[in-house]
Structure 1
C-alpha cells in the first residue's frame, strides 16, 4: 500500500473513532439507547466514575436507569486518537456536561456545567470501529458559588 493510501486510511480510522465520541454524546442525550449500545463491542465496558458496567446487558441496564426527568447535553472537544496497532486505538475527549429539568420547551438548568473526560479503547470489528472500553472521569466538578 502506498504511503498516501496508508495516510488516508489512518485519517479515516481516526475520524471513525472520533465520531464514536460524538455519536455517544448525541445518542445518549436523545435517549437513543439502542444506538448507544451499537457503538460498543459485545463485551464492551463503561466505567462511569468508578462504577463498572460490563457487557450489553449491564450497559442497557445503566441506560434504562437514567432519570427521565433530567435532560442532558454533552459537548465533546479536544478529541485525540492514538493507534496502538492497525485495529486498536486509544482515545481521549473532554466533555462539557450540562443537566436540566426536562419540561416542555427549553430545559431549565440544574446548575453550572461540569467537565468530564472520556478515556477510550477502540477496536476495529467486522461492523467497523467500536468502543471496547470507556472510562469516564470527573475533571471539573460543578458547584454553586
Structure 2
C-alpha cells in the first residue's frame, strides 16, 4: 500500500464515521443503515443490532421530537489491511426530547454524555467503508 493509498483509506474511514453521525443527527435513518455492513453489529443501549434492517428499525422507534448532536473528537484510524481498519474516538452528545418535531433551533442543554467508541470497518467492493462492529462506553454522564 502506498502512502497515498493509506491516507485515502484513513480519510475514507473518517468520512464513514462522520457521515454516520451526520445522518443520525439529521434523522436520515436510511443513510445510517446504509453505513452498516450486511452483517455489521452495533452494540447500542444494551442491545445488539445486526445489519442495516435492524439498525433502521431500532432508530425508527426514536421519539419524533428528539434532536441530537454527536460531536466526534480524538478520532484515530488504524489500518489493519487495505480493506480493514479499526477506529477509536470520543463523542460528546447533546440531546433534547421535545413533544413534537421542533420548528427551529432547540435550547442548548448541558451535555448528555462523553463516550469512548471502538469501531471496526471494512471496505466494500464498491470502495465504501462500512461498519462491521460499533461499540461505545460512557465515560461521563448518567
Could you state the TM-score of these two structures normalised by the residue count of structure 2?
0.89
Cα distance in 1 for partners of 2:124, 2:113 equals: 33
Question: Which ranges in structure 2 are unaligned for 5 or more consecutive residues?
Answer: none
Does the 8 Å CA contact 1:76/1:93 hold for their aligned counterparts?
yes
Q: Which runs of 4+ in 1 moved over 4 A?
A: none
Q: Equivalent residue of 1:105, what SS? A: coil
Cα distance in 2 for partners of 1:60, 1:112 equals: 25
Does the 8 Å CA contact 1:48/1:137 hold for their aligned counterparts?
no
- Alpha-carbon offset, residue 122 of structure 1: 0.6
CA RMSD across the alignment: 1.6
Q: Equivalent residue of 1:108, what SS? A: coil
Residue 67 (str. 1) matches residue 63 (str. 2): yes
Q: What residue in structure 2 maps to residue 44 of structure 1?
A: 40
Question: Which ranges in structure 1 are unaligned for 5 or more consecutive residues?
Answer: none
Q: What residue in structure 1 maps to residue 115 of structure 2?
A: 116
Q: Equivalent residue of 2:54, what SS? A: helix
Does the 8 Å CA contact 1:116/1:138 hold for their aligned counterparts?
yes
Could you state the TM-score of these two structures normalised by the residue count of structure 1?
0.87
Cα distance in 1 for partners of 2:39, 2:92 equals: 27
Q: Equivalent residue of 2:41, what SS? A: strand
